[in-house]
Amino acid sequence: MLVTGLEILKKARAEGYGVGAFNTNNMEFTQAILEAAEELRSPVILALSEGAMKYGGRALTQMAVALAKEARVPVAIHLDHGSSYESVLKALREGFTSVMIDKSHEDFETNVRETKRVVEAAHAVGVTVEAELGRLAGIEEHVAVDEKDALLTNPEEARIFMERTGADYLAVAIGTSHGAYKGKGRPFIDHPRLERIAGLVPAPLVLHGASAVPPELVERFRAAGGEIGEAAGIHPEDIRKAIALGVAKINTDTDLRLAFTALIRETLGKSPKEFDPRKYLGPAREAVKEVVKSRMELFGSVGKA
Ligand code: TD4
Ligand code: CA
Ligand code: ZN
């Protein structure tokens, strides 16, 4: 069933588990994510970026909304990193049930003002809102304290920001970053900062850039001819700790992209004569589904639908 993001996330934060927001750009990812959720009886958030909406158009948005309605588990259709009021309105018109407005690169007052405007529009039609405060930057353990402070979410500011904007859930910057290169060695999550934020902000917290970039997957991608540098992701134990502290929504995109592409490379490499797309997209879809399932297990959302 199609529900708002807050409906899913309020329960998650209250009960101390996390819900995955998985990005989709096409039919295969959409099916993989929704099938994994149904098979594991897990709530799920289907995330579409502006890039996804541009790439997939109405074919993608309407497929996502229609399948979410039919699903036997709670599903929210979410705009990921909405950059403008116009972009949010477009998502609202398409039937999304959750939108993110990301004005984190603006100064605090502009972020408050722009977020508030989106909250008013979205709430008027029963849609819930994610906002962001702080800069997503791959931070390593040894980075100086004041340098971290300039980038990462300030707990007291977060409290004021949420009170002033009326946003429903908050993306925090606590050391993670997007993509397959999250800093050398073991990328760092600032758990003490997260704990302070969670103590001041009762709303569900959101972790972006949470992919694990699993070494097995990187190796498989390489073995199939893919080229990738010093890839590194967030350790599963650090994710589990973040959920225990108040993170309820965990974004994962990179791991799914890696799995999908590794399987396509592998399949085409083994069968150079193959040109039936279903023969390589099928196994790739299956690989995405497996990654989604293992993330749901890590987040603790299995059986929560
Ligand atoms: O918000 N996200 C996903 C970002 C998706 C970007 O999509 P476009 O290429 O269309 O702009 C995340 O936080 C994902 O984090 P991850 O660790 O998986 O990279
Ligand atoms: Ca941002
Ligand atoms: Zn993100």
In order of their start, the domains of the chain are 5-299 (3.20.20.70)
**Residue 138 pLDDT > 90, yes or no?**
no
Distance 147 CA to ligand 3 centre (A): 21
Locate the ligand 1 atom nearest the alpha carbon of residue 52 and give its number: 10
Q: How far is CA 96 from the centre of its chain?
A: 15
191-165-25 Cα angle (round to 5): 70
**Residue 142 pLDDT > 70, yes or no?**
no
For position 148, what pLDDT does the model report? Answer: 76
Rg from Cα positions in the chain: 19
**How many residues are there in the chain?**
305
Distance between CA 172 and CA 134 in Å, rounded? 6
Helix axes 236-245, 191-200, angle to 10 degrees: 20
Distance 105 CA to ligand 2 centre (A): 6
Q: What is the pLDDT of residues 290-300, one digit of tens each?
A: 999 999 999 99
Residue to substitute in 24, 25, 49, 176 for testing ligand 1 pocket (most ligand atoms within 8 angstroms of CB):
49
- Phi and psi torsions of 152, nearest 5°: -85, 165
For position 215, what pLDDT does the model report? Answer: 96
Distance between CA 89 and CA 233 in Å, rounded? 33
- Return all residues near 304 (Cβ < 8 A) that are at least 6 apart: 11, 12, 15, 17, 19, 41, 42, 43
Distance 19 CA to ligand 2 centre (A): 20
Distance 107 CA to ligand 2 centre (A): 12
Q: What is the pLDDT of residues 213-259, one digit of tens each?
A: 999 999 999 999 999 999 999 999 999 999 999 999 999 999 999 99
> Residues lining ligand 1, CB < 6 A?
23, 49, 51-52, 80-81, 178-179, 208-211, 251-254
Residue nearest to atom 3 of ligand 1 (CA): 253
Confirm if 46 and 77 have CB atoms less than 8 A apart: yes
Average pLDDT over residues 119-133: 98
Average pLDDT over residues 189-207: 97
E strands present in the chain: 19-23, 44-49, 75-82, 98-101, 128-133, 169-172, 205-207, 247-252
For position 172, what pLDDT does the model report? Answer: 98
Tell me what percent of the residues of the chain surpass a pLDDT of 70.
98
For position 149, what pLDDT does the model report? Answer: 78
Residue nearest to atom 4 of ligand 1 (CA): 253
Distance 194 CA to ligand 3 centre (A): 17
pTM over 0.85: yes
3-class state of residue 124 by DSSP: helix
Residue nearest to atom 13 of ligand 1 (CA): 208
Those residues whose beta carbon sits under 5 angstroms from the ion ligand 2 are 102, 104, 132
Distance 263 CA to ligand 2 centre (A): 31
E strands present in 121-194: 128-133, 169-172
For position 139, what pLDDT does the model report? Answer: 65
Average pLDDT over residues 116-136: 97
Locate the ligand 1 atom nearest the alpha carbon of residue 55 and give its number: 10
**Residue 36 pLDDT > 70, yes or no?**
yes
Average pLDDT over residues 41-49: 98
**Residue 141 pLDDT > 70, yes or no?**
no
Average pLDDT over residues 129-134: 98
Average of per-residue pLDDT values in the chain = 96
80 is catalytic: yes
Q: Which ligand is nearest to the CA of 231?
A: 1
Specify the range with the lowest mean pLDDT, choosing from 75-79, 140-144, 225-229: 140-144
Average pLDDT over residues 169-195: 91
Residue to substitute in 178, 288, 295 for testing ligand 1 pocket (most ligand atoms within 8 angstroms of CB):
178
Residue to substitute in 25, 55, 80 for testing ligand 1 pocket (most ligand atoms within 8 angstroms of CB):
80
